[in-house]
Amino acid sequence: MATALDGLRILELGSEVAAGITGMVLAENGAEVVKIEPPQGDRDRGRPGFAVWHRAKKSAVLDLADAGDRNWFLDLARAADGVIDAFRPTVAEKLGVDYHTLHRLNDQLVYASITGFGETGPWRDLPGYEQIVAAKSGRMTSYEGVRPGPVFTPVPIASYGAGMLAAVGLMAGIWARQRSGKGQRVHTSLLHALSVYDMTSGHGNRTHLPPEPGRVYGVMRVPFMTAPTKDGRFIQMCSRQAHHYRRWLAELGLEALLDDPELPNAPDLWPSEERLAEAIEAIRRGMEQRTAEEWMEVFSAKDIGGDPFLAPREFLDHPQCIDNERRQEVFDPEMGPTAQIGPLGLYSDTPSVVGPPAPRLGEHTEEVLTSWLPATSPSGPASQADRAGELPLANVTILDVGYFYACPFAATLLAEAGARVIKVEPPTGDPGRRNWTTDYVKSHVAKESIVLDLKTPEGLEILYRLVDHADVFLHNFRPGTPERLGIDADTVMGRNPRLLYVYASCFGSNGPWAHKAGFHSSPNAIAGAGVVESGDSNPPRNRTYGDPTAALATAAAIMAGVLACRRTGRGQRLETTMLTATAYAVAEWGVQHSGKESPVVDSGQFGYHAYQRLYETADGWLVLDVHTSRERSSLATILGEELPDKPTPELAVQLAETFATDSAEAWEARLLAAGVPAAQADRGDFLHNMLYEGHMQECGAAVEVAQGSLGAYWRAGPTMQFSAAPTPLHPALPLGWATAAVLGELGIDDREITRLHDMGVTKPIGHGLPS
């Protein structure tokens, strides 16, 4: 069977995880991705994650600083459909391989640029390493650790996010090229990607409201607690929905909490910190009465949300991974037999192919130079006149009927690229609205909210009429629910055979947990992130980035799917899972092999080793993130002493004594000036920094908008920037605000619109929580 991106040729530049992930997504969907490496090779060669990030690609060695090799590259660019550039700002220009240079040679080229901190602002030229971005953004201070102060954050969620965003943007540019005949540039950054993970930023999220009588927010502390069990293990609770919460407390024998007249809005809102603390203590005592295995049997039998903590490699052996075709056997020439996480999405008509292992250095140089040259521009005439000034997905319509964040925010990201997203909500609204006191909901930005009660014949018929004109149908309901509602794939695609039908699941359609309730903390526990983040021998931690990680993956998978549907003229089904998305993020630790082990954060959560570690200074904390011999040499010069190639525990003690002699700010300035990657790690917290730090606002990671009665406020900005057109700063408006307009487009007259409203089919009710 053909793959989604057959025939596309992509050049990958740079030595970063983010670019590797972008290229991997494209390669596994059929694109010919050539990784251009310097003679010494990518510095990540030798890391276990390299085997995953660069599988299914080709490697060609070209020294871009050499005029002859650069000319070879320019010839390849003439034949390419896309370029992935992970250089720091201005490096591509200095090498003569920047977008404007290549666009003059090939105006159909789509050029995806990934930076660390964006293209403007005072932090623009900082080293775009994961830990430097984590420190400057405040991410290291946002997690509770085993000691006071910031904690080291090993999972490269910013790099993963930027890689997925670049994949979305590049494929969106390919989509637009079919209409305009022209390529364009898309930019994203690790910092912009981090804004996706901040699910609560904006205006009115209950997480940030100061506690007051009757309104102490308890969602993360109760239904998402990390609960100890009788055998010393931990279960990550995920009982957010009212029916899951009631079943859980009933099983604990705590029905009194359910019937208490003082707790009408629990587990969302509590009357006081004292009542919340009492409830947490009672629940923890109850959870300690059974073993983890015993609890999991009960939870599975009674549909209660809770998940065990697995290590990343354990997840690959779990039936939920294997039964959903996500365990992949790959023989790597450097590591031997390996097991790796499999494809990002399952496509019914154009299945992904993991393909060959990561290439040896320069393995395909001669082949690529021979087969790509003489250069010819990418084929495919424009179907319409030039459409400069239009976002790439302007002619794509998505029906989003999903709940909460992972599924809906995938559509939000595509709306950034110009897609029209019609958000279909029940009369009570998407349950995710319960987390907000205002109409602003981060996952609803730029969407047209309509209310349809799909349990009524009239509501279902209106949905079907919308399906007739849609390109993508997106949901995250567990197996059985779509069939009961009449929105299963057979029914929906029976009306629109060219539709991409997307099930953005947590667990997948198969396996023992296919019908299990899944929430944003589920993949953190099951796919291994909670173990990796916790540090050596520590209890697992709830690092709640399962939803954002899945949203990014689903958006990328949808883009490959719509390109395939257009190329084949046929619709198809696509299934993504939150577990797979998180397994991609922890791929460095998930590879099963007999070679070099993945790095482990120490038990104090300081870091991996002396060169990648947090240090306490005279007044705060500093993170050091040294990767190359040049950076190590610069550090030695600053310190006035020789440093070993390989870090030792003794070196960490020595550096700790040195860094304790001055302030974090002074050390950051001194080290950065000498070319040593370092950053103050405790300057503000993540939620504040991502909106109000001056650099965030200057680079566009945060934007100020005005929305009705809310007035002006700051929220996360667009994660991708397209050269063809700027992304409008659309608001997130009230439940059902677009119902009448959308129904009018279907030819439904005002009288019928009023009747449907009065019947309750389209009437907004809301979640009922106090604001």
Taking only the tens place, the pLDDT of each residue in 92-127 is 999 999 999 999 999 999 999 999 999 999 999 999
Q: Say what the pLDDT of residue 208 is.
A: 65
**What residues does each domain of the chain span?**
9-199+327-377, 206-312, 397-585+723-759, 610-680
Q: Say what the pLDDT of residue 203 is.
A: 67
CATH class of the region 206-312: alpha beta
Both tokens assigned to 508: 């997948």
Q: What is the CATH number assigned to the segment(s) 610-680?
A: 3.30.1540.10
Percent of the chain residues past pLDDT 70, beyond the cut? 97
Q: Say what the pLDDT of residue 569 is.
A: 95
d(CA 238, CA 749): 43
* Closest to 187 (Cα-Cα) out of 116, 97, 122, 135: 116
Task: Determine the straight-line distance between the first and last CA of the chain, rounded to whole angstroms.
Answer: 53
**pLDDT tens track for 46-79:** 899 999 999 999 999 999 999 999 999 999 999 9
Q: Say what the pLDDT of residue 381 is.
A: 46
> What CATH architecture applies to the domain 397-585+723-759?
3-Layer(aba) Sandwich (3.40)
Percent of the chain residues past pLDDT 90, beyond the cut? 84
Cβ 755 vs Cβ 456: under 8 Å: no
Is the pLDDT reported for residue 384 higher than 50? no
d(CA 265, CA 748): 38
d(CA 128, CA 471): 36
**pLDDT tens track for 285-332:** 999 999 999 999 999 899 999 999 999 999 999 999 999 999 999 999
Label the pairing between strands 678-680 and 702-706: unpaired
Is the pLDDT reported for residue 551 higher than 50? yes
Confidence class of residue 665 from pLDDT cuts 50, 70 and 90?
very high
* Closest to 32 (Cα-Cα) out of 79, 64, 75: 79
Equal fold, 397-585+723-759 vs 610-680: no
CA angle 411, 413, 416 (to 5 degrees): 110
d(CA 19, CA 12): 7
d(CA 395, CA 384): 12
- Helix (H) or strand (E) holding 612, with range, is strand 612-616
Q: Say what the pLDDT of residue 767 is.
A: 83
Is the pLDDT reported for residue 382 higher than 50? no
| Residue in the structure block whose two tokens are 């666009």 | 103
| Residue in the structure block whose two tokens are 């021998």 | 537
Label the pairing between strands 420-425 and 58-61: unpaired
- For the entire predicted model, the pTM comes to 0.95
Confidence class of residue 771 from pLDDT cuts 50, 70 and 90?
low
DSSP code at position 41: -
Which CATH number fits the domain 9-199+327-377, given the four candidates 3.40.50.10540, 3.30.1300.10, 3.40.50.300, 3.30.110.70? Answer: 3.40.50.10540
Measured CA distances, 706 to 202, 442, 709 (Å): 12, 14, 9
**pLDDT tens track for 269-291:** 899 999 999 999 999 999 999 99
Is the pLDDT reported for residue 714 higher than 80? yes
**pLDDT tens track for 556-614:** 999 999 999 999 999 999 999 999 999 999 999 999 988 778 899 999 999 999 999 99
- Mean pLDDT, the chain, rounded, equals 94
d(CA 298, CA 120): 53
Is the pLDDT reported for residue 218 higher than 90? no
Q: Say what the pLDDT of residue 334 is.
A: 86
Q: Which residues contact 104 (CB under 8 A, 6 or more apart)?
A: none
Both tokens assigned to 600: 């482990």
Q: Say what the pLDDT of residue 441 is.
A: 87
Cβ 108 vs Cβ 181: under 8 Å: yes
Confidence class of residue 541 from pLDDT cuts 50, 70 and 90?
confident
Residue 404: what residue type? F
